[in-house]
Amino acid sequence: MTILLIFLTGLIAGSVANMLSYRLPLDKPILWDRSRCPLCETPLAWYSLFPLLSFFIQLGKCRSCSARISWRYPLLELAMGLLWVFVYIFFGSTIHCLIGFFFIFFTLVLFVADFETFTLPLSPMIGIGILGGLRLVFGGDVVSQIKGLLLGFLIFYGLKILSKLAYKREAMGSGDVILSSVLCFFLGFHSAAVYIYSSFLLGGSVGVFLLFLTSKKKEDMVPFGPILVLASYLAFFFGEKVWSFLGF
């Protein structure tokens, strides 16, 4: 029963995340404007605010103009619900579980926003930084988290400079540097090291796949934020275990 309640609450959080990931990159009002169909601008009915439900009720179409609804809306909502359940199973009924819920919420907003618009909104990253502060309050290691912050900033800022020199253009945005810095602060030094290694490994794998198996070219822009988010999940849940397994 508890898991079902958490899943349903996660779906509601996913609906909010859908709204934020759409509006924040466009600087649209968050609180004072009803959600609308992006094509015909018709205000959504109450049940349309829950994409997983409305997608099937409306057969994947807007009830007013019959435009196709993007799969990203129900998928984000479903991902939020499932990840919240995993967080609860992993941490149990603890403060770390609650922190984990908000961590998943902020990172999924960033994942979708960057994937669709190549933009990482600042407010969810500030939220992750605040969560890092809460981890300090509830038993975190201040030295480890400061070392993680410095490690993340220095490596990704250095990578930003080197990539600009190599490609003669901005190959990594400032948002990626800020996101990695706050993630490494949140994770702490050991998990931050796992996060950095994972992000490089995952980023390289995605890059090779896009180059050789799609029409993407080396000069094409690829959003790095989703890769950073996926790497942060590995580090958040299993970073300390990976660090211990490697014998450091």
pLDDT in tens, 142-151: 999 999 999 9
Lowest mean pLDDT among 36-50, 99-113, 192-206, 219-233: 36-50
Q: How many residues make up the chain in this entry?
A: 248
- In tens, the pLDDT along 59-111 reads 667 666 766 777 888 899 999 999 999 999 999 999 999 999 999 999 999 99
The kind and range of the H/E element at 134 are helix 122-137
What CA–CA distance (Å, rounded) separates 235 from 58?
Answer: 38
The one-letter amino acid at 44: L
8 Å CB contact between 226 and 181: no
Per the prediction, the chain carries an average pLDDT of 87
Helices (H) and strands (E) in the chain, counts: 9, 0
User: What is the pLDDT, as a whole number, of residue 66?
Assistant: 64
Structure tokens at 63: 């009830």
Instruction: Please report the pLDDT score of residue 187 as a whole number.
Output: 97
Contact assessment for residue 195 and residue 183, using Cβ atoms and an 8 Å cutoff: yes
Distance CA 68, CA 204 (A): 33
